[in-house]
């Protein structure tokens, strides 16, 4: 195992995954007992099958995130050349060029129909205020 494999964060994530599975299996057992009781329904049986999947989901997500991070790191290594190293200095990296600014969209000229509609709304508002 590599150095730093058992970090407090990894241990807490592992404990959380095991705890999640234990709690969800307990809930599945509880639903099984409800299913076997006189008032049990097939909905309880569905929950019996569903709770263990909920318990396994955090572990699945941890494995999926690790896989995606590993793939992203491999893609970064393949895409970017390694920075030059000079003896006794930090790696030299190139500063990226600034991106061009997006052009500012000029305000649209006033449309005749829009102006007429706004006058109509102002007239309705004035009438409404007079009635009050």
Which residues share a beta bridge with 92? Answer: 84
Give the residue among 22, 32, 29, 106 at the shortest CA–CA distance from 56: 22
Q: Tens digits of per-residue pLDDT, 87-107?
A: 666 666 677 777 777 765 555
Instruction: Compute the mean pLDDT over every residue in the chain, rounded to the nearest whole number.
Output: 84
Q: Tens digits of per-residue pLDDT, 113-122?
A: 888 999 999 9
Mean pLDDT, rounded, for 3-20: 88
Q: Tens digits of per-residue pLDDT, 24-77?
A: 999 999 999 999 988 888 999 999 999 999 999 999 999 999 999 999 988 888
* Rounded Cα–Cα distance for residues 27 and 30 (Å): 5
């Amino acid at each position: 195992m590599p150095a730093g494999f058992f970090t407090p964060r990894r241990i807490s994530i592992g404990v959380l995954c095991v705890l999640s599975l234990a709690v969800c299996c307990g809930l599945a057992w509880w639903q099984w007992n409800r299913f076997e009781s006189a008032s049990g329904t097939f909905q309880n049986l569905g929950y019996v099958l569903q709770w263990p999947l909920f318990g396994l989901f955090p572990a699945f997500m941890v494995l999926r995130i690790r896989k995606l991070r590993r793939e992203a790191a491999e893609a970064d290594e393949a895409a970017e050349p390694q920075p030059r190293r000079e003896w006794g200095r930090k790696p030299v990296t190139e500063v990226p060029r600034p991106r061009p600014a997006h052009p500012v969209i000029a305000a649209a000229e006033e449309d005749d129909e829009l102006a007429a509609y706004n006058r109509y709304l102002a007239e309705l508002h004035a009438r409404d205020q007079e009635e009050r």
